[in-house]
Amino acid sequence: MTLLIRNGHVIDPANAIDEVCDVWIEDGRIAGLGEFSGTASETIDASGQYVCPGLIDMHVHLREPGQEWKEDIESGSRAAIAGGVTTFCCMPNTQPRLDHAGVLLQVIDRARQVGLCHVHPIAAVSRNLEGKELTEMRELARAGAVAFSDDGMPIWHAGVMRKALEYASSFGFMVIQHAEDLELTSGGCMNEGWMSTQLGVTGMPAEGEDSMVARDIMLARRADARYHVAHISTAGAVALVRRAQAEGLKVTAEAAPHHFSLTEEEVMHFNADAKMSPPLRTEEDRKAILEGLRDGSISVIATDHAPHHEDDKRCGLSCAAFGIVGLETMLPVSLELASNNVITMSDLIAKMTINPARLLNLDSGTLSEGRAADICIFDAEKRWTLDRSKLFSRSRNTPWHGRELTGQVTHTIKGGRVVFRNGTIHD
Amino acid sequence: MAEVIFDTVAVEQALDQLAAGIHGDEIFLAGIQQGGADVADSLQERLQARGAAVERGNLDISFYRDDLDTIGPNPEVRPSHLPFDISGKTIWLVDDVLFTGRTIRAAMGELFDYGRPAAIRLVILLDRGGHELPIAADLTGLTHAASAGCSVKLVAGDAGWHIEQRRVKV
Amino acid sequence: MMKLQHLFGIADLDKEQIEYLLNLGESLIDVSRRPIRKAPTLRGKTIINLFFENSTRTRTSFEIAGKRLSADVINISASTSATKKGESLLDTGQTLAAMRPHVLVVRHSISGTCQFLSEYLEGTSIVNAGDGSHEHPTQILTDLLTLRQAGGYENKVITIVGDIAHSRVGRSHLLAATLMGYRVRLVAPKTLLPAEVERYGCEISHDFDAAIPGSDVLYMLRVQTERLTDNCSFPSIREYHEAYGLNRKRLAAAGKGCLVMHPGPMNRGVEIASDVADSASARILEQVEHGVAIRMAVLTALCGDTGGEG
């Protein structure tokens, strides 16, 4: 049984491969790259398309358990493979929280049953995400947690953050921070600035993120801890991360596609589908994130996929829930970075494959021989218009509805099995 | 093309004749904006010249029309102003052209919101025919049977007023 | 011929439309001064005042405006509405729209409520009677009519004093100033100014006394006393009055021709001293009277030219 992907432009950053060749798969594993000369039982003609490792999204909110009407593990997995994502990490702000091994195991078990994606939980730093007492990180890690975060909420109090960084780093665990000083952002629903002033709504100043990142870096320095900034959104935070890395600290950052492609202008006319936390910022911030992606300060692209039911969005900007879905738009939106020559295609793919894999010690993100055959094939030129009613996610909250995107996933292969092909899921 | 149907001389004569028909020493004049107010101005001059005391006001009937739904509010609406108590008085209501009678109906409606006059007398410079309501002038300066597709207008020229007829639809 | 579909804010109007509404409003002042204060203009029109925020004066102003033009006016206030029972804003709006009013007058504490509702309520004109800290267009039209009656607003300097950050009146004036050719000077401490407000092209001062010379109008905003102290925007009402309250001395410094305006309701002794509020310079009650005329104008403009459909 050989599955052959013929004549695609193969990008495998981990192995510095960036050339047109064949990829063949046997028994669910990568069997070889190069010129295939045997007999294949199935062939995918990838001429004119890119072939890369299945994408990894290290920042996804599944709503299971607790809010399955917004998204569950199955619908989230379907959205993921439709977006070329074969591995993702789910955040702990479910109900109940992922702050106990039992819940974690339940999620992992459910994801295995669904079987479309590799799902790795990120467990809570503090019990019930309250920012007071630490979770049992060692046990959570044994149960499968790949990192720790209170995402959705910051680890707000400096004392707790210090202990969290010290404790986690004692065992090599990484802490992911949703950097937001709630004292500065409370009541806010968008970036604070000219746009929020015109709309007459409470803003969330960039300083809310900057000051939290600055504080955390100081604490991470003292603790010699691994600290990762989730969904970085401000020029100030990017500069802080860059400086920390220059200093040799174990500080990393991820950026979400909406933060490097859109600005606060999207919120004009009170568009609740452009409301997320951290909010869309200014053009200056957007450019700083592009620069961070270019110079490597930001090593990962992750979506912060945050599904919400329409009822939670249709209630006026100030009342609407924070967040947008992102799994199905991650690749086309990010491809702009390559087409605009911000970074090379190989660097771009790295930020969605091998870089997060290395950060989280995942056994994926490459096309090395013998690895599980998780592969994404996409047409980088294909233009299409996003219709939110056609999303595989259970939720529809996207700012890209009705917009033309360039680049579309044609095939997603997980463990050698074609799970998504030309718009259709094969479970 | 506009056609002059009454020249300045004819209009001035008609105004003289109207002023002569307005009797009494204390006269309450209300012009309907805009043309009726202009006519009332000239009548006022004539009446005062003969020594009568004239109380003047103007009505803008925009808010009393029966056709708001079809034509929308008049963009050049002017304030109504009646600076005297109309109760028990004879009011000489002045307009330039009498056509369907709807403007007069609205003006009478508006007048009654200011009080209860003893009588309302209608003074019209030109009756162009085409009445749609049982309304007729007490004093008419000129008459001209205009066809329904024509507009008839009091126009201020360099030498004075004249009245024009213009075909507006076929 | 001019027809408004909705009135969300000054931001959606051009100069011509504002002048038109002022003309209409000016003509309508007289209707409220007659023995019989009712014109038949809006006979057969239904207007619903949907107020999620308490505001006796704005609601009454809209109600009287509608009734003086013979419309049927229904008032719904948050305390009696279904929202207290958990019904969403959208459901309340859709329910009322299904009863086919011509106009829905909406006041809500959330900015953008009118725009939001209009996306879901087809065939109903929506008037913004104040949305959060966003806009309050009928108040600004009222103020402009008052200024016009007092000699005009063009090239005048209107000094707006108080909590600009939370003021819909302030924002709407900043927009109208650019359109209509007057200048706005904002006076407030930094705690009460929104981000980048200078981008409206206004002058900004933290010192009331320094901002007084050259002002043609001192426009005092209402202070929400609990909001002021609770979030550390100001230490005390006492200090507020001392720094930003309009007193006799400041009025004297402003000179004789300077007018005093206030959108109401006033906090006497806080943003404005009692004797100033009652002084000859005050145009505060004229604002109230003109408010009715302007709202009559707005309702007329919204109801006109609907093609005769019910």
Q: Does B160 map to a domain?
A: no
With 0-12 / 13-18 / 19 or more C-beta atoms within 10 angstroms meaning exposed / middle / buried, residue A399 is: buried
Per-residue confidence (pLDDT) for residue C84, from 0 to 100: 54
Q: Is residue C35 domain-shared with residue C126, that is, in the same domain?
A: yes
Within 8 A of B68 by CB-CB distance, chain C residues are: 41-42, 300, 303-305
Q: Does residue B76 register a pLDDT over 80?
A: no
Within 8 A of C111 by CB-CB distance, chain A residues are: 199-201, 270, 316-318
Q: Is residue C30 domain-shared with residue C124, that is, in the same domain?
A: yes
Residues in chain C: 310
Q: Does B42 map to a domain?
A: yes
Please tell me the total count of domains within chain C.
2
Taking residues A320-333, report their average pLDDT.
97
Name the β-bridge partners of A43. Answer: A4
Q: Does C139 map to a domain?
A: no
Q: What is the DSSP letter of A204?
A: E
Within 8 A of C69 by CB-CB distance, chain B residues are: 63
Q: Is residue C29 domain-shared with residue C129, that is, in the same domain?
A: yes
Q: Is residue C115 domain-shared with residue C161, that is, in the same domain?
A: no
Within 8 A of C2 by CB-CB distance, chain B residues are: 72-73, 75
Q: Which domain holds residue B67?
A: 25-142
Could you tell me what percent of chain B has a pLDDT over 90? 75
Q: Is residue C161 domain-shared with residue C272, that is, in the same domain?
A: yes
How far is it, in rounded angstroms, from Cα A362 to Cα A352? 13
Q: Is residue C155 domain-shared with residue C238, that is, in the same domain?
A: yes
Q: Does B148 map to a domain?
A: no
Query: Given C116, C194, C196, which is nearest A270 (Cβ)?
Result: C116
Q: Is residue C208 domain-shared with residue C246, that is, in the same domain?
A: yes
Q: Does B4 map to a domain?
A: no
Contact A45, A15 (CB under 8 A): no
* Cis-peptide into A65, omega within 30 deg: yes
User: B78 falls in which pLDDT band (50, 70, 90)?
Assistant: confident
Spatial strand order in the sheet of C103-108: C72-77, C46-51, C103-108, C125-131
Q: Does residue A394 register a pLDDT over 60?
A: yes
Q: Does B85 map to a domain?
A: yes
Check B63 against C301: CB less than 8 A apart: no
Q: Does residue A147 register a pLDDT over 90?
A: yes
Q: How far is C270 from chain B (nearest CA, A)?
A: 38
Per-residue confidence (pLDDT) for residue C4, from 0 to 100: 87
Q: Is residue C299 domain-shared with residue C266, that is, in the same domain?
A: no
Per-residue confidence (pLDDT) for residue B68, from 0 to 100: 73
CATH of domain A2-51+371-380+405-425: 2.30.40.10
Contact partners for chain A, using 3 or more CB pairs closer than 8 A, are C
Residue numbers in chain C where pLDDT is lower than 50 = 1, 306-310
Contact A409, A424 (CB under 8 A): no
pLDDT per residue over B52-63, tens digit each?
Answer: 999 999 999 988
Q: Does B8 map to a domain?
A: no
Per-residue confidence (pLDDT) for residue A1, from 0 to 100: 85
Q: Does C276 map to a domain?
A: yes
Query: Given C27, C34, C36, which is nearest B78 (Cβ)?
Result: C27
Query: Given C112, C171, C194, which is nearest A270 (Cβ)?
Result: C112
CA-nearest residue of chain B to C307? B70
Residues of A within an 8 Å Cβ radius of C: 192-194, 196-201, 203, 205, 269-270, 311, 314-319
Please tell me the total count of domains within chain B.
1
Residue range(s) occupied by CATH 3.20.20.140 in chain A? 54-360
Q: Is residue C296 domain-shared with residue C274, that is, in the same domain?
A: no
Per-residue confidence (pLDDT) for residue C2, from 0 to 100: 64
Check B71 against C2: CB less than 8 A apart: no
Q: Is residue C161 domain-shared with residue C277, that is, in the same domain?
A: yes
Fold classified for A54-360:
TIM Barrel (3.20.20)
How far is it, in rounded angstroms, from Cα C148 to Cα C140? 12
Per-residue confidence (pLDDT) for residue C305, from 0 to 100: 55
Within 8 A of A193 by CB-CB distance, chain C residues are: 195-196
Q: Does B110 map to a domain?
A: yes
Q: Does residue B169 register a pLDDT over 90?
A: no
Check C39 against B64: CB less than 8 A apart: yes
Taking residues A152-173, report their average pLDDT.
97
Per-residue confidence (pLDDT) for residue C224, from 0 to 100: 83
Residue range(s) occupied by CATH 2.30.40.10 in chain A? 2-51+371-380+405-425
Q: Does residue B65 register a pLDDT over 50?
A: yes
In CATH, what number is assigned to the domain containing residue B79? 3.40.50.2020
Taking residues A70-90, report their average pLDDT.
97
Q: What ipTM is given for this predicted complex?
A: 0.91
B interface mutation test: which of C2, C20, C29, C30 has the most B CBs within 10 A? C30
Q: At what angle do helices C284-303 and C15-28 cross, to 10 degrees?
A: 110
Contact C287, C262 (CB under 8 A): yes
CA-nearest residue of chain A to C195? A193
Q: Does residue A279 register a pLDDT over 80?
A: yes
Instruction: Determine contact: C4 vs chain B, CB below 8 A.
Output: no
Q: Which domain holds residue C116?
A: 10-134+288-303
Q: Does C263 map to a domain?
A: yes
CA-nearest residue of chain C to A192? C195
Instruction: Determine contact: B134 vs chain C, CB below 8 A.
Output: no
> Is residue C232 helix, strand or coil?
coil
Per-residue confidence (pLDDT) for residue C226, from 0 to 100: 74
Q: Is residue C121 domain-shared with residue C230, that is, in the same domain?
A: no
Q: Is residue C159 domain-shared with residue C273, that is, in the same domain?
A: yes
Per-residue confidence (pLDDT) for residue C122, from 0 to 100: 86
Per-residue confidence (pLDDT) for residue B154, from 0 to 100: 92
Chains C and B touch (3+ CB pairs under 8 A): yes
Half-sphere exposure of residue B68, counting CA atoms within 13 Å on the CB side? 24
Per-residue confidence (pLDDT) for residue A396, from 0 to 100: 96
Per-residue confidence (pLDDT) for residue C1, from 0 to 100: 42
How far is it, in rounded angstroms, from Cα A356 to Cα A361? 8
In CATH, what number is assigned to the domain containing residue C217? 3.40.50.1370
